[in-house]
Amino acid sequence: MSTQHPETLALHAGWRADPATTSVAVPIYQTTAYQFESPEHAADLFGLKALGNIYTRIMNPTTDVLEKRVAALEGGVAALALSSGQSASAFAVQNLARAGDNIVSATGIYGGTWNLFANTLKDQGIEVRFVDAADPEAFARATDDRTRAYYAETLPNPALRVFPIAEVAAIGRSLGIPLIMDNTAAPLLVRPFDHGAAVVMHSLTKYFGGHGTSMGGIVIDGGNFDWEAHAARQPAMNTPDPSYHGAVWSQAAKPLGPIAYILKMRVTLLRDLGAAISPFNAFQILQGIETVALRMRAHCENAEAVVRFLSGHKAVARVIHPSTATGLEAERVAKYLARGRGAMIGIELAGGKEAGLAFIKALKMFYHVANIGDARSLAIHPATTTHSQLDVADQAASGVTPGYVRLCIGIEHIDDIIADLDQALAGL
Ligand code: PLP
């Protein structure tokens, strides 16, 4: 594994000038197919005896650089880029769990992932058992013989309580169950593999892309989970796959490295379901990644300044941000978010729903959007938008009160960010 720092990896990992043209920038290889060297070469590629390009639904040279770069930044061994964060979440689970199986997920997850888990995966026969991550042992209690994975987000909104990665990963490992972490909200701030996670996924649409232009997702294999040692627990990795001449993935991948999980995903789920990222989007996201370290630093510094400004404001009843955590929660923040405490902030406005809506209307520079991780500052009122399908009790259980506003602090000058918040709060 590289010892280079994230700032360096973000510019160099996975690429050193185009072998064909010497181009320094990663070219957009906008092609669907690749010329085989010979019939034998073609047969070797299809038989996984050699690795190489076959067809862009399954691999592409531009996307390959993106995969290597994000794998390096997360400290994983290999990655698979996909068309969106949603396809990354779906594939991460479907790669292990089949009809009749279950996974255990934290309740604190993005609404789109919640829908995927509670409805679509359920329709496919995969049960998702939701538990409150405040008690890591809840994952063990929800586990049975058919539990194939644990799933959680590093820093889920609206509550913004950092997930106890090491604690739950250790429980999982003792039972042969890998922890899948959605690290979308905290790239470069925390590396879940360092704390025992086995799989990491991101919506690349957010901080990695960074400019709100391109959809993408990625799943990264930590290469740190012994699938073979848990044959009964992980049948998808340890029984013959009829779709690939009876390959047993935990063994078939061995000559290529500890990449069984991600290799299986590429050559089965991506082949069959086709959620490929376009080479152009891979290029755009690579551009974003070149500056992700600088941006994350600016996002986090600006967010800390906004927390200080909001904390004393009379229109604000409560500020929710990892920097305001206390007790055990504060210990977890110190352990996991030493490199930065994130750019999302929840504010509880004293005037409830009316104040929330008036505040959103009054913002001039902040964009009112259902997105996070843009370089621009963003705001949304979850009770009337992202969480409006939930009744008031369920909203409250998820941490959304009528006066809750979610801010995602951008990288504009801090004085301009505070000036916009100040004038919008002044009218309440
Ligand atoms: N995970 C998290 C934490 C998200 O915030 C989102 C989108 O908002 C997703 C996954 C889904 O990603 P995408 O919108 O790229 O499909």
Ligand 1: distance of its center to the CA of 85 in Å? 5
pLDDT tens readout for residues 247-267: 999 999 999 999 999 999 999
Which pLDDT band, with edges at 50, 70 and 90, does 82 fall under? very high
H or E element: which one contains 140?
helix 137-141
Averaged pLDDT for residues 373-384: 95
Q: How far does residue 408's CA lie from ligand 1's centre (Å)?
A: 14
Residue nearest to atom 12 of ligand 1 (CA): 85
Whether residue 1 is predicted with pLDDT greater than 80 in this model: the reply is no
Per-residue confidence at 51, pLDDT binned at 50, 70, 90? Answer: confident
Burial 292-318 (b: 16+ CB within 10 A, else e): bbebbbbbbebbbebbebbeebebbbe
Distance 110 CA to ligand 1 centre (A): 7
What is the phi/psi pair of residue 33, to 5°?
A: -130, 170
Residues present in the chain in total: 428
Distance 134 CA to ligand 1 centre (A): 22
CA 135–ligand 1 middle distance (angstroms): 25
Q: Could you give the residue range(s) of every CATH 3.90.1150.10 domain in the chain?
A: 293-426
Task: Please report the atom of ligand 1 found closest to the CA of residue 185.
Answer: 3
**Cis, bond preceding 158 (omega within 30 deg of 0):** yes
Q: What is the mean pLDDT of residues 163-183?
A: 98
216-247 residue pLDDT tens:
999 999 999 999 999 999 999 999 999 998 99
Instruction: Give 319 Cα–ligand 1 centroid separation in angstroms.
Output: 24
d(CA 290, CA 181): 23
Of residues 8, 10, 29, the one with CA closest to residue 19: 29
What residue ranges of the chain are covered by domains with CATH 3.40.640.10? 6-287
Would you put residue 316 in left (φ > 0), alpha (ψ -120 to 50) or beta?
Answer: beta
Q: 293-426, which class in CATH?
A: alpha beta
**pTM attached to this predicted model:** 0.97
Q: Which CATH number fits domain 6-287: 3.30.2350.10, 3.10.105.10, 3.40.50.800, 3.40.640.10?
A: 3.40.640.10
Mutate to test the pocket of ligand 1, among 87, 107, 153, 205 (most ligand atoms within 8 A of CB): 205
Give SS3 for 71.
Answer: helix
Identify the residues whose C-beta falls under 6 Å from ligand 1.
84-86, 89, 110, 112-113, 153, 182, 184-185, 203, 205, 215, 217, 372
Name which of 86-90, 235-239, 381-385, 406-410 the model is least confident about: 381-385
Cα torsion for 279, 282, 287, 293, to the nearest 10°?
-170
Q: Which residue has tokens 């376009």?
A: 278
